[in-house]
Homo-oligomer: A and B are copies of this chain.
Amino acid sequence: MTAIAAMMTELGTRARAAARLLARTPAPAKDGALRAAARALRAAAAEIKAANAEDMADGEAKGLGKAMLDRLMLNDARIEAMAKGLEDIASLPDPVGRVLAAWERPNGLKISRVSVPLGVIGIIYESRPNVTADAAGLCLKSGNAAILRGGSESFRSASAIMAALRRGLESAGLPADAVQMVATRDRAAVGAMLTATDYIDVIVPRGGRSLIERVIAESRIPLFQHLEGICHTYVDKEADLEMAKSVVRNAKLRRTGICGATETLLIDRACAATHLAPLVTMLLDEGCEVRGDDAVQAVDRRVRPATEEDWRTEYLDAIISARLVDGVEGAVDHINTYGSHHTEAIVTADPDAARTFLDGCDSAICLWNASTQFADGGEFGMGAEIGISTGKLHARGPVGVEQLCTFKYVVQGSGQVRPG
């Protein structure tokens, strides 16, 4: 057995033991431990900042980009935000032990479906060290043990955060092994995690496309995957123009770097004469690059031609692709052909068109007269999220503490045996 494999077995064995204990830990004990972890994070601020300074120095020496360095950087405000995040998770309702359904059979068997933790969750992420605290907190709240593997650039920062979290859990009487970190920068450790089927129940990858693609290709463990968010806003012929402008502006430009940002604007050919130019001009005037089909290009010389590739591109930037479609059916066809099953919006006053759109789009979140930027666990009222799943199994859309649970059937009888 290689050293990496031995380490994974050790981590996995400890995680399984902690998970068994966590599954039986009542909510007040879990919430107390989350609050203790928050206190421990605040108390360790100096040591976390010192570790982060070393990571930052290495990152600058290696020539990391400005955006990457900003994601890596920790200061008092960011450490406080992590601590507050843990306290917010503590105040969520307990997702474990809910009776999801209950019924009685004619033979008197009482059957209930009860939520229980998944077990051990593996999280593979990149440069943001704060994911360490957020992900650990969500797993703990849902009664799961967590094994985290962060990016090598943030290794010292994540290690310092992890040490503080574990001290917090222990001070509250929970096992420190409820949250563990893969203590090596060796990239082979990712491969070992992805094949640790005996020890990890689900893998949550958080990061850029190359990380996610590696995880999809190598994992033998089920994933909550989110490859990309190619989100659409469709403006129907029955759309109020002012509402359409407001929704499109927000959906594209409020924040361009989040997965719920609209990447493609679809406009009903039937309202091109009235709606197309105002929408395109508004976007251009707000500093958004527009890449359009012939009709969109005809609106303004600033519009660039869209290629086939544009319809498949998640820009995560102030760029939008735009085209006319033949009504709501044309919009649905475009979305199901080019989209990523994430989030789509229709603007219309026509309930029939809305129904066709909401039913027809094969996406996790379908909105009527609202911005795609609402694709977020917090905005859904689910509290914090560990990601947004574009897969269809188990978790779809925002993955919060409820989605980090599974269920079991509990059956109460009085000696029943099966006839026949």
How big is the A interface, by class? 35 or more
Determine the chain B residues whose CB is within 8 A of the CB of A360 once the complex forms. 24
Is A369 touching B408 in the complex (CB atoms < 8 A)? Answer: no
- Shortest CB-to-CB span from A330 to chain B, Å, is 14
Is A416 touching B374 in the complex (CB atoms < 8 A)? Answer: yes
Which residue of B380, B396, B412 is within 8 Å of A111 (Cβ)?
A: B380
Within 8 A of B (CB), among A210-237: 222
Which residue of B109, B246, B408, B415 is within 8 Å of A374 (Cβ)?
A: B109
Is A379 touching B418 in the complex (CB atoms < 8 A)? Answer: yes
- Shortest CB-to-CB span from A315 to chain B, Å, is 18
Interface of A, secondary structure class, is mixed
Determine the chain B residues whose CB is within 8 A of the CB of A393 once the complex forms. 118, 201-202, 222, 393-394, 406
A284 within 8 A of B: no
Is B412 touching A250 in the complex (CB atoms < 8 A)? Answer: no
A2 within 8 A of B: no
Determine the chain B residues whose CB is within 8 A of the CB of A243 once the complex forms. 415
Is A380 touching B409 in the complex (CB atoms < 8 A)? Answer: yes
Residues 96-121 of A, flagged 1 when their CB comes within 8 A of B and 0 if not, give 00000001010001010000001100
Is B415 touching A373 in the complex (CB atoms < 8 A)? Answer: no
A414 within 8 A of B: yes
Q: How many copies does the complex hold?
A: 2
Residues 368-380 of A, flagged 1 when their CB comes within 8 A of B and 0 if not, give 1111011010011
A413 within 8 A of B: yes
Is B368 touching A412 in the complex (CB atoms < 8 A)? Answer: yes
Q: Complex formed: what's the CA distance from A411 to B406 in Å?
A: 25
A364 within 8 A of B: yes
Is A396 touching B392 in the complex (CB atoms < 8 A)? Answer: no
Determine the chain B residues whose CB is within 8 A of the CB of A413 once the complex forms. 367-370
Is B369 touching A417 in the complex (CB atoms < 8 A)? Answer: no
Q: Complex formed: what's the CA distance from A41 to B229 in Å?
A: 45
- Shortest CB-to-CB span from A392 to chain B, Å, is 4
Is B105 touching A381 in the complex (CB atoms < 8 A)? Answer: yes
Residue with the highest number of chain B CB atoms closer than 10 Å, among A396, A397, A414: A396
Residues 354-391 of A, flagged 1 when their CB comes within 8 A of B and 0 if not, give 10001110111111111101101001110000000001
A336 within 8 A of B: yes
A254 within 8 A of B: yes
Determine the chain B residues whose CB is within 8 A of the CB of A367 once the complex forms. 411-413
- Shortest CB-to-CB span from A398 to chain B, Å, is 8
Residue with the highest number of chain B CB atoms closer than 10 Å, among A347, A363, A374, A420: A374
Is A394 touching B394 in the complex (CB atoms < 8 A)? Answer: yes
Chain B residue with the shortest CB-CB distance to A415: B243
A304 within 8 A of B: no
**Could you name 5 residue pairs across A and B whose Cβ atoms are closer than 8 Å?**
A20-B362, A347-B415, A369-B416, A374-B418, A393-B406
Cβ-closest 10 pairs across A and B: A370-B413, A250-B417, A394-B394, A393-B394, A243-B415, A373-B418, A392-B406, A367-B411, A369-B413, A370-B416
- 16 more A-B residue pairs beyond the given contacts A23-B359, A249-B417, with a C-beta to C-beta distance below 8 A: A24-B359, A105-B380, A109-B379, A202-B393, A354-B412, A365-B409, A366-B410, A367-B412, A367-B413, A368-B413, A369-B413, A374-B411, A379-B418, A394-B394, A396-B407, A397-B409
Q: A residues engaging B (CB < 8 A)? A: 20, 23-24, 103, 105, 109, 111, 118-119, 201-202, 222, 240, 243, 246-247, 249-251, 254, 336, 347, 354, 358-360, 362-371, 373-374, 376, 379-381, 391-394, 396-397, 406-418, 420
